[in-house]
Structure 1
Amino acid sequence: MEFAVIAAVKAFFVISGFYMAMILAGRYADAPIRVFFVSRFLRLYPVYLLVLLLSLIGASLSSNGTLGPFIDLNKWREFLIHDGFVWTKIWLIVANVSMMGIDATLYGCIDLKSSSVWIYKGGCPGFIFNNLILIPQAWSISIEIAFYAIAPWVVRWSSRALLLLIVGGILSWLLLAAFG
């Protein structure tokens, strides 16, 4: 991936973090945390579910069961009728409906012939899990949802705790970069 693309995505998440801290310290400072969660839910899910429904309808009405380069109901049909993969099927259905876990689908590979699932590092003989995500662009929203789940508590941490979190994050990133 080009450096500019990676930098843009990282910059977006950093800006989102500062924005959420500002929102939580302002609008939601005195409100119960559930008000924040309900607000985020109502901002994200109605539009997502509408797009998901329209995408499914569009793919169902197309002559070949596809809609653009992303939605391919034929892959879903092949995957669903295959014996096994029960937990993977549940996970992918929940991820498609809830948006939670879509980001993790970028790293999984499935081979129906050998009934195997593994971490995707290129050369998948079957297809990557992301081929079974109906709106794969929602991977970033999946990360946002995970962030929203912890943000109300993180903004209340002391500077020392935040510094430890940052140092731990940088060390984790360096370890992953060094050892894969």
Structure 2
Amino acid sequence: MTSRTLTYDIRVYPLVQKFLAYHYDTAPFLISSVKNPYASYLCACLDRHDWRERKMPRKYGQLTSTLTVSIPAYHAKQFGASSLSPIKVAGFNDFVRQMFFEQLTREVALHTSFGVGIKTATQRFLDRYGISEDELTLEVALRYYDRTRRKLLLDYCPVLPPQQSALLSHERDSAQWEMEPWRGQVA
């Protein structure tokens, strides 16, 4: 009897592996266009291959974890596509990481609106998914939170306290006709 699915492993970030395993069954991760948005993304990647996609992306070495995916045999037979190129695998990892950081931003913003600190809310989010300090540090997660918050333009997201940095010349000068001791009057 023939198998109804084709199964093989793709390389993913450990963060992607844990995020998908928390929300969906990943033993194996069934590639389908109706189960979940991540499987739909992979299903769309199966149908499109180009000769330029055979090269390895630079970030492919950072994908240290594996995710077992299964493709229905009828899909491979009907569309003639049963594998993913390294470029498509890297794109899938970027897609899932972006969804992870958007989820982090939304949840941290929600928790901080109820009075929880930003660091505490971020650490709770990382702990829920079992993400260790080696995979994603708290400082990096906070930096991604700040960037994603600005991208999503969420008004209710609290702003991180400003970091001490050098004062640039265009930030120092103002057009309020103040007296500065070393240069006189400023326009």
Place the TM-score, normalised by the shorter chain, in its bin: under 0.3
TM-score of the two chains, using structure 2 as the length reference: 0.22
Q: Which has the higher helix share?
A: 1
| Structure of larger gyration radius | 2
